[in-house]
Amino acid sequence: MGFADFPFESRYVRVAGHRLHYIDEGSGPTLLFIHGNPTSSYLWRNVIKPLRQHYRCIALDLIGFGKSDKPDIDYDFSAHYRYLDGFVKALTLTDITLVGHDWGGVLAFQLAQRQPQRISGLCFMESFPFTFDWDEFPLAARPLFFAFRRPRLGPFLLMRQNLFLNVVLPLSVFRHLPHSVMAAYRAPFRQREQRRVILAWPNELPINDRQGATWQLVRKIEQALPEMRQPMLLLRFHPGAVLGETRIHWLKQQLPQLEITDCGRGLHYVQEDQPEAIADAIKLWRQRQTPATSLTHMSVTVVESDRYQGPLYWRWGHSPLGPVMAAWSDQGLVHLVPDTDPQQAREELAQRFPNAKLESQHSHQLDPLWRADSELALHLVGTAFQRRVWQQLLTIPAGETRSYSELARILDSQARAVGQAVGHNSIAFLVPCHRVIKRDGSLGGYRWGLALKKQLLANEPLTEGR
């Protein structure tokens, strides 16, 4: 299959009296791709081709774009969201991983915040779920976009001259776009009136000099970012156009579940420059969301110590549940902690074992920790009481929970003391402290965040009798 071809079956669904075009390829967990201005589902073609072997890949044309209807409506952000919301409901989509670009990323954040029960993850690139000033806008593009927002000049440039498609799009890609690709992008907008939707989006940009209805909506999205608990992936490109290093650092502070993957060289329409890298990054990220194998299917031996001062072999890497720092003694695994920052993870390990000799060791692979046929040795290092609590955690079957007070009765102790020992557990997932909840059935605390605890419990196999 060639770079320009679009070998997918066209489908249509009616939303609010108008037809939306979409493609629906492959089977498996659902990925919903949302484009921005002035593109369509065609933008995602070379990303979807490899992913449809493992996932159900759905990409729609937003109202006014691609092969979707182009009614005489106000193409503001609220209108696009209403049609997107109607599309998701019309296809009865659930457990969706959103993949958004440009305005499609902003719409994805709105959908994830308003319907969190439907959205299991969010990947975005070259998008702006925040308000900003002109000085953050790409310097080379400022005069042009300022002109696009002028009452008379904007329609002349965008509707009469079709400048967004003829100039902005090809100049925002490193790769030379062949005639066949440009023809596919231009096809939905042959007539001047069909370009009204292209004109609308630059005037919707949430720049702080216009604080209208769309600015207010994006501001609400921005303010709600720290409350979002879905796993998220930001794909970073160099030099990029929308997201600079300062803003990426800001997003990392705002989004508690954010991972960042570098996908190489790209400007704005990065799907044309790096489709394979984007597909690989999404696939690897989704694989890391797969729940870990239950300990009940492993052969486990346990070694215990009050303290440890010998050599520790450590490795930071990816697990099915995200980035982790793992460390082994000669007796077994002593440390397994979720952490997206390898330097911070190593410092934490050094603080926990101040007298141990830390040795980076790539021969210790992480994969065997998640295989059902593994023979796993755990080395529990802590006080005698902590080790008693951790041993008790190992007896809780997958799919079941125990309360702090239940464990306290078994151990002839108090719930508070048990809770403190549970909180000191440093072998995440495998010593299942996530299976301990409060007596009233609420989750209680979790050292690595309640979102991860909820995810672990939701993905464990149910057992009979409880």
User: Which of these is catalytic: 25, 61, 126, 273?
Assistant: 126
User: Which of these is catalytic: 102, 204, 272, 273?
Assistant: 102
**Burial per residue of 77-111, b for 16 or more beta-carbon CB atoms within 10 angstroms, e otherwise:** bebbbebbbbbbeebebeebbbbbbbbbbbbbbbb
The beta-strand segments (E) located in 135-226 are: none
For residue 112, which of 231, 22, 281 has the smallest C-alpha distance? 231
Both tokens of 242, joined, read 């929308």
| Residues forming a β-bridge with 336 | 326, 427
User: Which of these is catalytic: 268, 335, 379, 434?
Assistant: 268
The SS3 of residue 56 is: strand
Beta carbons of 334 and 308 less than 8 angstroms apart: yes
Neighbouring C-alpha atoms within 13 Å toward the C-beta of 3: 14
**Burial per residue of 38-51, b for 16 or more beta-carbon CB atoms within 10 angstroms, e otherwise:** bbbbbbbbbbbbbb
| Residues forming a β-bridge with 23 | 59
Q: Would you call 268 a catalytic residue per the annotation? A: yes
What's the rounded Cα separation, in Å, for the pair 233 and 257? 8
What's the rounded Cα separation, in Å, for the pair 263 and 277? 6
Q: Would you call 54 a catalytic residue per the annotation? A: no
Catalytic residue set: 102, 126, 268
